[in-house]
Amino acid sequence: NITNAGLDFNANDAGIIIYDYNLGDININSRSGRIIVQDSSANNMRLEMTDGFIRLQDTTAQSVNTTNPHGKTVVTDTNINDLQVDGINKDIIVTDQKGKSILKNEHGSIILNDLEGEIDIFNRSGLIISRQDTAVNGTARTGSGRIRWHEVDDGQADFKIEACSGYTPDADDQQP
């Protein structure tokens, strides 16, 4: 259904491409397939899949919530005030996102590059890799996974890294 209030789409297995859409809300639910939203803006977006591919590129929104437990999610060049991405065993890749970003994954990787705004990242046992040109505020947490964080900017940031298990060197530890 496409109306002036938004777009609602439900499918079992679909390839959905939304290009240059600038109206209302977007709600898509598909068990598998692809969802691609590019050069678009919306108030709110809810994109749900069980096993597929979600891509947001050059997109602006107040709020975006993606759920893709067994699929891959890629977010590139976006300005989303509140972004939430949930996954279980595939990759979540977020590049050049402006706004608050909440990213949760169980076993897959979370890969970040040049985020602006507050971030909250949790990955139970997968890898978190981040490269930031500027300081970001937030938290990166893992249960038993690894975190690789590279920040180019020497500026001050309110940032916290937490791990439930693994090696954390003490201040007196002299290992390189």
Contact between residue 87 and residue 71 where contact means Cβ atoms under 8 Å apart: yes
In the prediction, which pLDDT does 173 show?
41
Which residues does the chain have with pLDDT short of 70?
1-4, 153-159, 162-176
In the prediction, which pLDDT does 155 show?
62
Please, how many CA atoms are within 13 Å of residue 25, restricted to the half-sphere of its CB?
A: 12
Contacts of 66 (CB under 8 A, 6+ apart): 45, 46, 47, 48, 54, 56, 73, 84, 85, 86
In the prediction, which pLDDT does 66 show?
96
In the prediction, which pLDDT does 134 show?
84
